[in-house]
Amino acid sequence: MHDYERLVQAVLKIATSIYRCCVCTENPYPNDKEQLQWAGEAWARACQDKGIDIEMDEEHSKLVFPLKDPFARSGMYEHPIIQQLINTMWFRDPHDEGIVYKRYFK
């Protein structure tokens, strides 16, 4: 894997985590405009965190979105025991996204 591809993968991993935080704390079913806005903001923040500047293209933005079908409202966060899962998923240990990206969970 080339250095550029490694950097993109690192940014994508962080951007996806940030995007997931927004979905969990802001709106679990963002509209198209919100999805694009959040993906762009997450990508920019991830680049800032890594100290690099990589332009987000359309393919990258599609990889950031976690919902399978936002119109049918299916995919993430569709289970009756949602609170228990959220607590386990986001806040179980110091390296979980809810702790690392706590600014999104206020």
Over residues 7-23, the mean pLDDT reads 90
* % residues pLDDT > 90 (the chain): 30
DSSP state of 69: B
Structure confidence at residue 35 as a pLDDT band (50, 70, 90): confident
- Note the pLDDT of residue 10: 92
What are the boundaries of each domain within the chain? 3-104
- Note the pLDDT of residue 52: 92
pTM beyond 0.75, yes or no: no
- Note the pLDDT of residue 36: 87
For residue range 40-87, what is the model confidence (pLDDT) as tens digits? 999 999 999 999 999 988 888 777 775 555 555 555 556 556 677 778
Q: Identify residue 89 by its one-letter amino acid code.
A: M
Extract the tokens encoding 27: 């709106």
Question: Closest by alpha carbon to 16, among 77, 79, 60, 76?
Answer: 60
